[in-house]
């Protein structure tokens, strides 16, 4: 049973909206599945924490995909999340690690890169998808999420994301918060929050010290100002299945499927997110060709 969860809160009479998450076990599961090296884990872990909180801003069955495509050796990262706290993600080159930065910390910018784009695609259950895209401004992920929320969604926001990695590459602590300023917030409130956030202990340290998501928001917003409105369990959840991959194979068309039969006498497909592998026998592929033909 995972102890990861996120909370949603309002503060200062509703003019501040806030989210905080502990994602240690979720990021740990992704690290194990992909055998990730420390800096790659920190980069993807931050992206997972940010994306699961943005997912929590959605309603019902809506979901979103965040893609961070920088010019660093890690390659593109892709993370999916929904409104229920379910999240999955991968980095193109999970065995990426670079020396520590000048502060002695994992050099996330060094693996992500400083040129490129962060894009968010929201599936809101309508025909069209909502897509927002902004340039990467730091490669440290939190600032890039902040930039996305401010520029693309036009909500003044502060985002903090952190991951601590153990010497054996496992995840020691992971999580983050997003604070958003709604219309009607006073300059005093904004200034107070800016000061609190600037002086805060790093978020991963707070989680490592045992602070809960609620405790993190109390730390930023003040006990007397914050009202918790919702709590969601957070977990790694992949929605891949043999049926989905089968449909994708059928979508390639008769010629492609026949080539799989002729050349390999079957097919194998692997999910990028969870690394589950699905085998398709020659007989199954022949049945797919029959289905394709009957649909033509």
Which neighbouring-strand residues pair with 280? 267
Give the Å distances, CA to CA, from 167 to 73, 83, 164: 22, 33, 10
* β-pair type (63-70, 116-123): antiparallel
Rounded mean pLDDT, 183-207: 91
Rounded mean pLDDT, 197-208: 91
Q: Which helix (H) or strand (E) holds 286?
A: helix 282-295
Task: Name all domains of the chain by residue range, CATH numbers in brackets.
Answer: 5-236 (3.55.30.10), 242-295 (3.90.1280.10)
Does residue 85 surpass a pLDDT of 70?
A: yes
pLDDT in tens, 134-168: 999 999 999 999 999 999 999 999 999 999 999 99
Helix (H, G, I), strand (E, B) or coil at 126: coil
Pull the structure tokens for residue 201. Answer: 């202990």
pLDDT at 1: 62
Strands of the 171-181 sheet, one edge to the other: 157-165, 171-181, 16-22, 5-11, 226-233
Instruction: Return d(Cα 14, Cα 52) in angstroms, integer.
Output: 22
pLDDT in tens, 227-263: 999 999 999 999 999 999 999 999 999 999 999 999 9
What average pLDDT does the structure give for the chain? 94
Does residue 2 surpass a pLDDT of 80?
A: no
Which neighbouring-strand residues pair with 91? 77
pTM of the model: 0.92
């Amino acid at each position: 049973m995972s102890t990861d969860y996120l909370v949603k809160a309002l503060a200062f009479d509703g003019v501040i909206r806030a989210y905080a998450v502990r994602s240690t076990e979720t990021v740990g599961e992704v690290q194990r599945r992909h055998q990730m090296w420390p800096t790659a884990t920190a980069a993807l872990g931050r992206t997972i924490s940010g994306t699961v909180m943005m997912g929590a801003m959605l309603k019902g069955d809506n979901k979103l995909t965040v893609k961070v495509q920088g010019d660093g050796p890690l390659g593109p990262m892709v993370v999916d999340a929904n409104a229920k706290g379910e999240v999955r993600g991968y980095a193109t080159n999970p065995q990426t690690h670079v020396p520590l930065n000048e502060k002695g910390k994992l050099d996330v910018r060094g693996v992500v890169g400083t040129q490129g784009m962060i894009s968010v695609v929201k599936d809101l259950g309508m025909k069209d998808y909502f897509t927002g895209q902004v340039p990467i401004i730091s490669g440290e992920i939190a600032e890039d999420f902040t930039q996305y929320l401010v520029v693309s969604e036009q909500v003044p926001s502060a985002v903090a994301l952190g991951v601590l990695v153990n010497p054996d590459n496992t995840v020691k602590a992971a999580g983050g918060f997003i604070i958003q300023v709604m219309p009607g917030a006073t300059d005093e409130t904004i200034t107070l929050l800016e000061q609190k956030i600037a002086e805060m202990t790093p978020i991963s340290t707070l989680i490592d010290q045992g602070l809960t998501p609620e405790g993190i928001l109390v730390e930023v917003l003040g006990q007397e100002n914050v009202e918790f409105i919702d709590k969601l369990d957070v977990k790694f959840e992949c929605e891949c299945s043999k049926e989905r991959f089968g449909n994708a194979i059928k979508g390639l068309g008769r010629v492609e499927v026949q080539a799989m039969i002729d050349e390999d006498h079957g097919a194998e497909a692997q999910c990028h997110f969870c690394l589950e592998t699905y085998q398709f026998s020659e007989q199954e592929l022949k049945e797919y060709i029959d289905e394709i033909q009957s649909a033509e």
